[in-house]
Amino acid sequence: MVLPTGPLAHKHIRSAPFGWKVRSHPDRRVLCDRYCTQREHFQEIRLERAQRIEAQLEHFRKIRLERVQRIEAQRGMGREICRRVAAKHGLTLEGFLHRSRKRPFAHARQEAAYLLALLTRLSLNQIGAVLGGYDHTTILHSIHAYARRQDAPVPRGLKLKVRKP
């Protein structure tokens, strides 16, 4: 950092690092040393902050990987449940996952949705994805329809909101 010199140095106001107002300084080295020391200090702080952020990111990556693995395991379990329900109803897995509205297919999918909600921690959207791309409201209806038909309790507190007239 160069400070002004000469007869008009005291009139020359210049903005120095970190907001200092410098007119003239008897010893330039003092200001430069102070500036270099602070710059190194802030570089150390930035490095520590970067290392801390990197450690947090690594922690979050690890948590996310564990969650993804858990969800993938539950989806694999969901596919197995779908395969067994399809076999129980005498359907192929392709026919089971097809978007047919015919009663045998619809009832089989409703049973699978009920079992997936009961046995896994998959969300309604994830259950819909396992069953072939259905919306969460369709899955909620499927669960309730199967529970009504079988006089079974609704799993996980998935209650329908009934509008009162």
Q: What is the pLDDT of residues 104-115, one digit of tens each?
A: 999 999 999 999
Residue 138: inside a domain: yes
Q: Are 105 and 111 in contact (CB under 8 A)?
A: no
CATH number, domain containing residue 120: 1.10.1750.10
114 closest CA partner among 146, 81, 152, 90: 146
- Round to whole Å and give the CA distance between 19 and 16: 6
Query: 88-104: string of b/e by CB count within 10 Å (b at 16+)?
Result: ebebeeeebbeeeeeee
Report pLDDT for 157: 73
Residue 121's alpha-carbon distances to 26, 63, 108, 111, in angstroms, are 72, 17, 20, 16
Domain that holds residue 130: 73-157
Residue 165: inside a domain: no
Residue 106: inside a domain: yes
Work out the angle between the directed axes of helices 28-88 and 103-119 (0-180°, nearest 10): 130
Residue 7: inside a domain: no
Structural domain total, the chain: 1
Report, as an integer, the average pLDDT of 91-118.
92
Residue 36: pLDDT band (50, 70, 90) is: low
Instruction: State if pTM tops 0.85.
Output: no
Residue 4: inside a domain: no
